[in-house]
Structure 1
């Protein structure tokens, strides 16, 4: 992982007008990963879409962290099931073409 992919948490918090404790709570809930390098906490840029979705749930929809955790886990399960369905459709297509 390169430094270019890392965003300081403080910078993210300032840009989105949120408290550092919110990011810390998300990390404790296992919803996001943080990286510590040289006493600075960073976010991987790949986490940004998920993190912005979480912020939307929290700020706009006023959903608490427990609710966000449930929603994120369900969305991850749906994505996994969709991926598995695509694999099965592809396999079925192979057999149907025989």
Structure 2
């Protein structure tokens, strides 16, 4: 089943941003743009990430390279948090003996 598509032009209009911001996110590999009959769209699955990137860009003035760095660091933090949980669970097994 194909995800719903959201028109980039409409998204930019609602969020009062330039479409070249979306293009630069796509150039950085942060989102994927789908072209249908000459119009640009993003999938609904990417909307949450796009809204987060838009807030960072609009409210904090973070450029697309900075957005990529922040996204990467947050992903590393999440991975380390999962690893800490796993290690704590393993430690509990040994403490219980």
Instruction: Please state which band the TM-score falls in when normalised by the shorter chain.
Output: 0.7 to 0.9
Is there any run of 5+ residues in structure 2 with no aligned partner, and where?
none
How far is the alpha carbon of 1:97 from its aligned partner? 6.3
How far is the alpha carbon of 1:84 from its aligned partner? 3.4
Which residue number in structure 2 is paired with residue 28 of structure 1? 27
Distance 1:58 1:82 in 2: 26
Which residue number in structure 2 is paired with residue 63 of structure 1? 62
CA RMSD between the two structures: 2.1
2:35–2:41 Cα contact (<8 Å) kept: yes
Distance 2:9 2:28 in 1: 19
TM-score w.r.t. length of structure 1 = 0.77
How far is the alpha carbon of 1:27 from its aligned partner? 0.4
TM-score w.r.t. length of structure 2 = 0.78
Is there any run of 5+ residues in structure 1 with no aligned partner, and where?
none
